[in-house]
A = this chain, B = another copy of it.
Amino acid sequence: MVTIRDVAAEAGVSVATVSRVLNNKGYVHEDTLRKVQQAIEKLNYSPNEVARSLFKRQSKLVGLLLPDITNPFFPELARGVEDELQKQDFRLLFGNSDENPEKEQAYIETFLQNQVVGIISATQTSGMFNQEQPAVPTVFLDRTHEGRYTVYADGREGGKIAARELVRRGSRNITVLKGPGHISPVQDRFLGAVEVLAASSVDFQVIQMASLTYEEAEERAKELFRQYPATDGILASNDMTAAAVLHEALRIGKAIPEEVQIIGFDDIPMSRLLFPSLSTIKQPVYEMGKQAAQLLLKLIKKEEVAEQIIQLPVSFVERNTTRKVKADG
């Protein structure tokens, strides 16, 4: 391994001088600069980030904690984060927590041990975070935490929009799939939907789910059609569960969207490829990741940040699990 000392020797200067050209800081004579640059070139030297991090007591690393990258909602999020950080030469230390507090704790600890400059977390449990102010700037993504920097989409409004669209398009007996209550965005969209439904004149019922897996949703879907055969509109917890419901509906011969309308949530890439393609509430996922990264970057640089909480708008994506509505007006 070639070190700064080798470069210094090659260029016939001290390590301090090499360091100065490396960091482009302090006075360096033009000729010296050239000599050092040549030495660097010749030896193919690249500075050891670890040594830097040690002295500076911070690295160029950011910790990213996700529940599960395998869940199709998250890759896009991660990409938004990465693309933004990458521009500023920060790198990602990455972990899946499976919403498991121990795993989460372990990851955060190693993030900190590696002297990350900041953490972006899309987990809810956040064992460590709940107790004390974390040691480094932390931004929560897609999950809200009291009094913490947060970037998320307006789930409540999304729930409202979904409910309104369903009603507006003629559903009169609606079943709402309620996801696990401890996941804040899921809870929000449920609350929003119920708020609208309660104020409307349609009948509705709620089915509780313990997870957001396709498998559980399949079960619940069967239950749904057995228990509430009159259902003509379904608000799913997310697109994955909507897909399960859609398949079950098709399986038992329901016409979609004529007999039953379905609206999902998230707009994951798969949704447009389902048949019929899934109407859903779109979250600006990539943008969320990007904004979280930008916010974190500001915190790291101790820049002024206007808002502790950034809430992004959602929108209805009309596809083919909802009926067309006659021209507005």
A residues engaging B (CB < 8 A)?
A: 1, 46-51, 53-54, 57, 59-61, 64, 68-70, 72, 74-76, 78-79, 82, 86, 89, 91-96, 103, 107, 109-110, 112-115, 214, 243, 247, 250, 269-270, 273-275
Interchain CB contact (< 8 A) of A113 among B47, B57, B75: B47
What residues on B are CB-neighbors of A96 within 8 Å? Answer: 79, 82
What residues on B are CB-neighbors of A47 within 8 Å? Answer: 113
Q: How far is the CA of A59 from the CA of B74 in the complex (A)?
A: 27
Complex contact A114–B61 (CB within 8 A): yes
Complex contact B79–A75 (CB within 8 A): no
Q: How far is the CA of A66 from the CA of B73 in the complex (A)?
A: 18
CB-CB nearest 6 A-B residue pairs: A275-B275, A49-B113, A94-B94, A270-B270, A69-B75, A70-B75
Q: How far is the CA of A247 from the CA of B250 in the complex (A)?
A: 18
Known contacts A79-B69, A82-B96, A93-B93, A114 near B275 by CB under 8 Å: no
What residues on B are CB-neighbors of A103 within 8 Å? Answer: 86
What residues on B are CB-neighbors of A64 within 8 Å? Answer: 94
Known contacts A69-B78, A79-B70, A109-B46, A93 near B95 by CB under 8 Å: no
Complex contact A114–B91 (CB within 8 A): yes
The count of identical subunits is 2
Known contacts A75-B69, A92-B94, A115 near B273 by CB under 8 Å: no
Interchain CB contact (< 8 A) of A92 among B93, B112, B270: B93
What residues on B are CB-neighbors of A72 within 8 Å? Answer: 72, 75, 269-270
CB distance from A41 to the nearest CB of B (A): 15
Known contacts A75-B75, A273-B270, A113 near B48 by CB under 8 Å: yes
Interface centre among A49, A110, A275 (most CB of B within 10 A): A49
What residues on B are CB-neighbors of A94 within 8 Å? Answer: 64, 82, 91-94
Complex contact A114–B250 (CB within 8 A): no
Interchain CB contact (< 8 A) of A69 among B69, B109, B275: B69
Q: How far is the CA of A271 from the CA of B126 in the complex (A)?
A: 34
CB distance from A179 to the nearest CB of B (A): 19
What residues on B are CB-neighbors of A54 within 8 Å? Answer: 48, 50-51, 54
What residues on B are CB-neighbors of A93 within 8 Å? Answer: 61, 91-94
What residues on B are CB-neighbors of A46 within 8 Å? Answer: 109, 112-113
Q: How far is the CA of A212 from the CA of B94 in the complex (A)?
A: 26
What residues on B are CB-neighbors of A107 within 8 Å? Answer: 91
Cβ-closest chain B residue relative to A56: B50
Complex contact A50–B82 (CB within 8 A): no
Known contacts A49-B110, A91-B93, A247 near B273 by CB under 8 Å: yes
Cβ-closest chain B residue relative to A52: B113
Interchain CB contact (< 8 A) of A95 among B49, B86, B109: B86
Complex contact A115–B275 (CB within 8 A): no
What residues on B are CB-neighbors of A275 within 8 Å? Answer: 250, 274-275
Q: How far is the CA of A1 from the CA of B270 in the complex (A)?
A: 46
CB distance from A15 to the nearest CB of B (A): 16
Cβ-closest chain B residue relative to A63: B91
Complex contact A82–B70 (CB within 8 A): no
